[in-house]
C-alpha cells in the first residue's frame, strides 16, 4: 500500500470519526443497531441492559421541572400584559382540540377503509385479561375530576416532587404573574431566573451525551424481552398506524407548516437528534428540554415556548389520538362488533377526553385505550389483550408524532402572536447541519 493511499485512508477514518462524534443522531442510530443485535443474539444479557435506558430517562425527567419553571416564569414576567398570557393559552387550547379531533378522525377513517382487524376472528371468552388489569385500574382511577384536582399541588415545592407537568406549569404561572406585578423591584429575581435557565440547559447538554447509552439499553431490552418477533407481530396494524401517522405529519402538519413559512421536512431535520432519541427510548419526556431550547434558538419567543410546549405534552397527543381510534376499531373488527356511525363519533368524543385524563400515567397511551373502551359497552375491554404485545412498538411512533405535533403547535402560536422570527427560522432551517 502506497503512502498516498495510507494517508487517504487515515483522512477518511478521521472524517468518519468526526462525523460520528459531532452528530448525536448518528451515535443514537449506531447504539440502536447494537441494541437490536444484542437483543437478537443474547436476549438474557440484553434484558439486563434495561437500567441504562431507565437511568437516562430519569436523568432527563430530573431536569424537566426546573426547565419548565425557569422558562415559564421568565416568559410570563417579561410579557407586557396578563391578557396576552390568557390569549396565548386560550388559542393554544383551541388549537390542541382542533388538531386532536383531526387526528382522531383520520384514525377513524383509515380504520374503516383498511379494516385492519378483519379476519382475526377473536372472541372475548378466549382473551386473557390478567395482563391488562393494571391498566384497567389506572384508567378508572384517573377520571377528569381527579385530573383537574391533581393540577393543584399540596405545596409549592410539592409540584416538583410529584410526577406530572401541569402542577409545575400551574406554580410557574402563579409565581411568574407575581414576579411581573413586582415591577422594577423584581428585576434582580428575573435576572437570577434567566441565569438559572442557562445553567440548567448547560446541564442538559452534559446529560445528552449519554443519549446513545440510554438508547442502547432501551432497545436492547425491548428486543431481548419480547424477541425480534416483537417488531413483526400484528404487522398490518403496526404498518397502518405508521402510514396514518405519516399522512397526518406530512399532509396535515405539512400544510400548517406552509402557512407558517416552514417546510415540515426541514423542521424534522432540525429536530432529528430529539426525534431519534424519542424513537429509541419511546419517551417524549427525554426530548422536552432540548426541544424547548432549540425552539427558542429557532426564533420562538421564550414565553410562548414555556407555555405551549409543556401544555401540549398534556393536551395535544396527536400520535396517541391516531392510535386510539385505530385500536378501538381494530378490536371491534377482530371481535365482529358492528359499530354505527354515531357510535364511532361517540368514540371520537370520548377519546378526546380520555387521552387527557391519562396524562402523566405510565403507559398513558394504553391506559387511554382501556379508558375509552370501558366507556363503550359494545366492545369488550378484554379485546385490549390482543394489543399488549405490540404496544411497545407502537408507543415509539405515538411519542414521535406527539413531539412533532407539539413543535408545530408552538411555531403556530408564536407566528400568530408575532413572536416568531420567520427570517431567522428560515435561515436556520435552510442551513445544512454540520457533518451532513
Give the number of residues written for the chain: 436
pLDDT one digit per residue (tens) for the chain, 436 residues: 566 656 655 666 666 656 656 666 677 778 878 888 888 888 888 888 888 887 877 777 777 778 778 877 877 776 656 667 778 878 888 898 899 899 999 988 998 888 877 766 555 444 444 444 554 455 555 555 666 777 788 887 877 777 666 787 788 878 888 887 887 788 888 888 878 877 887 787 788 788 788 878 877 876 777 666 544 445 788 888 999 999 999 999 999 998 888 889 999 999 988 888 887 777 777 788 888 889 988 988 888 888 888 878 777 888 888 988 888 888 888 777 888 888 888 888 877 766 764 444 445 666 677 767 767 777 776 667 667 656 667 777 888 998 999 999 999 999 988 888 888 988 888 875 544 4
Q: Which three cell numbers stand for residue 359?
A: 396524562
112 to 123, 322, 329, 341: CA distances (angstroms): 20, 13, 8, 10
395 to 114, 126, 254, 278: CA distances (angstroms): 21, 25, 22, 10
Which fold is adopted by the domain 23-430? 1.10.3860
> Cα–Cα distance between 355 and 371 in angstroms, integer?
9
Regarding pTM above 0.85, the answer is: no
3-class state of residue 8 by DSSP: helix
Q: Do 281 and 32 form a contact (C-beta atoms < 8 A)? A: no
> Cα–Cα distance between 378 and 279 in angstroms, integer?
34
Q: Do 19 and 26 form a contact (C-beta atoms < 8 A)? A: yes
- 433 DSSP assignment: P
Domain positions in the chain are 23-430
CA-based torsion, 105, 120, 396, 31: positive or negative: negative
Measure the N-to-C terminal CA separation of the chain; round to a whole number of Å: 30
Amino acid at each position: 500500500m502506497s503512502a498516498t493511499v495510507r494517508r487517504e485512508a487515515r483522512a477518511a477514518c478521521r472524517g468518519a470519526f468526526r462525523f460520528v462524534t459531532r452528530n448525536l443522531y448518528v451515535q443514537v442510530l449506531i447504539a440502536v443497531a447494537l441494541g437490536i443485535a444484542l437483543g437478537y443474539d443474547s436476549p438474557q444479557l440484553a434484558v439486563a441492559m434495561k437500567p441504562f435506558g431507565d437511568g437516562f430517562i430519569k436523568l432527563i425527567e430530573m431536569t424537566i421541572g426546573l426547565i419548565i419553571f425557569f422558562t415559564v416564569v421568565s416568559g410570563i414576567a417579561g410579557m407586557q400584559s396578563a391578557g396576552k398570557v390568557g390569549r396565548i393559552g386560550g388559542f393554544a387550547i383551541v388549537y390542541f382540540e382542533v388538531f386532536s379531533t383531526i387526528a382522531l378522525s383520520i384514525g377513524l377513517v383509515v380504520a374503516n377503509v383498511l379494516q385492519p382487524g378483519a379476519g382475526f376472528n377473536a372472541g372475548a371468552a378466549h382473551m386473557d385479561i390478567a395482563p391488562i388489569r393494571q391498566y384497567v385500574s389506572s384508567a378508572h382511577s384517573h377520571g377528569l375530576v381527579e385530573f383537574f384536582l391533581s393540577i393543584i399541588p399540596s405545596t409549592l415545592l410539592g409540584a416538583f416532587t410529584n410526577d406530572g407537568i401541569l402542577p409545575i406549569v400551574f406554580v410557574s404561572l402563579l409565581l411568574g404573574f407575581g414576579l411581573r406585578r413586582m415591577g422594577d423591584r423584581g428585576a434582580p429575581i428575573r435576572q437570577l431566573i434567566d441565569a438559572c435557565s442557562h445553567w440548567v440547559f448547560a446541564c442538559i447538554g452534559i446529560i445528552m451525551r449519554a443519549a446513545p447509552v440510554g438508547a442502547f439499553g432501551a432497545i436492547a431490552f425491548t428486543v431481548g424481552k419480547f424477541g425480534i418477533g416483537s417488531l413483526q407481530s400484528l404487522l398490518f396494524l403496526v404498518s397502518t398506524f405508521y402510514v396514518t401517522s405519516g399522512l397526518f405529519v406530512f399532509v396535515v402538519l405539512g400544510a400548517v407548516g406552509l402557512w407558517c413559512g416552514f417546510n415540515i421536512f426541514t423542521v424534522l431535520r432540525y429536530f432529528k437528534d430529539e426525534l431519534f432519541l424519542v424513537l429509541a427510548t419511546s419517551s417524549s419526556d427525554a426530548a422536552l428540554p432540548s426541544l424547548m431550547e432549540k425552539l427558542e434558538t429557532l426564533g420562538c419567543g421564550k414565553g410562548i415556548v414555556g407555555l405551549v410546549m409543556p401544555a401540549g405534552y398534556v393536551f395535544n397527543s396527536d400520535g396517541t389520538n391516531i392510535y386510539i381510534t385505530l385500536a378501538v376499531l381494530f378490536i371491534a373488527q377482530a371481535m365482529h362488533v358492528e359499530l354505527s356511525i354515531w357510535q364511532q363519533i361517540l368514540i371520537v368524543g370520548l377519546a378526546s377526553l380520555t387521552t387527557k385524563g391519562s396524562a402523566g400515567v405510565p403507559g398513558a397511551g394504553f391506559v387511554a385505550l382501556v379508558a375509552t373502551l370501558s366507556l363503550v359497552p359494545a366492545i369488550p375491554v378484554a379485546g385490549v389483550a390482543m394489543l399488549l404485545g405490540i404496544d411497545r412498538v407502537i408507543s415509539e411512533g405515538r411519542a414521535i408524532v406527539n413531539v412533532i405535533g407539539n413543535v408545530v403547535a408552538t411555531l403556530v402560536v408564536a407566528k400568530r402572536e408575532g413572536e416568531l422570527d420567520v427570517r431567522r427560522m428560515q435561515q436556520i432551517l435552510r442551513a445544512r447541519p454540520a457533518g451532513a
